[in-house]
A = this chain, B = another copy of it.
């Protein structure tokens, strides 16, 4: 694992933006890029996000709520609609009669894979003007922020099996 690769200098074009503005605007640009993919499939951004989360997990409803920063009742509706589209399935577990786990159906998994590729392409377009160096720096920095944020939001995580 490449732990000490350098990211050489980055020539800052005079920033007309503050960091906060830059992050905010970037986030809107990213969301609308994902939104374009959503439109292709007549899905919402939130549905896409749900599928993205379920790519490698089969969490309980409440866990979905936590990860997505939603009220649990919002997740009920979200999963209802995804289920109605045949993308997602609710499973009850024998060891806890209250718990409901959510997982992708075959169709949902297929779609999720396609979405991943398309989002990749669409976001690739967003950064196509950047030199590779910048792109790598961005990946590093974004990963760091996301990891920090996760650590802050879930102080105690058992990395799932």
A1-30 vs B, CB cutoff 8 Å, 1 = contact: the mask equals 111111111111111111111111111111
Q: Is A119 located at the chain interface by the 8 A CB criterion?
A: yes
**Copies held by the complex:** 2
Q: Is A106 located at the chain interface by the 8 A CB criterion?
A: no
Which residues 108-144 of A sit at the B interface, judged by CB distance below 8 A?
A: 116, 119-120, 123-124, 126-127, 129-130, 134-144
Which residue on chain B has the smallest CB distance to residue A31? B27
Q: Is the CB–CB distance between A142 and B12 below 8 Å?
A: no
Chosen A-B contacts, 21 in total, with CB atoms closer than 8 Å, are: A2-B12, A7-B7, A7-B10, A7-B12, A8-B9, A13-B147, A15-B143, A17-B143, A19-B139, A20-B116, A20-B120, A25-B142, A27-B27, A27-B28, A29-B149, A32-B69, A129-B144, A129-B148, A130-B141, A130-B144, A137-B141
Q: Is the CB–CB distance between B135 and A19 below 8 Å?
A: yes
The range of chain A's interface size is 35 or more
Q: Is the CB–CB distance between B13 and A143 below 8 Å?
A: yes
Q: Is the CB–CB distance between A22 and B136 below 8 Å?
A: no
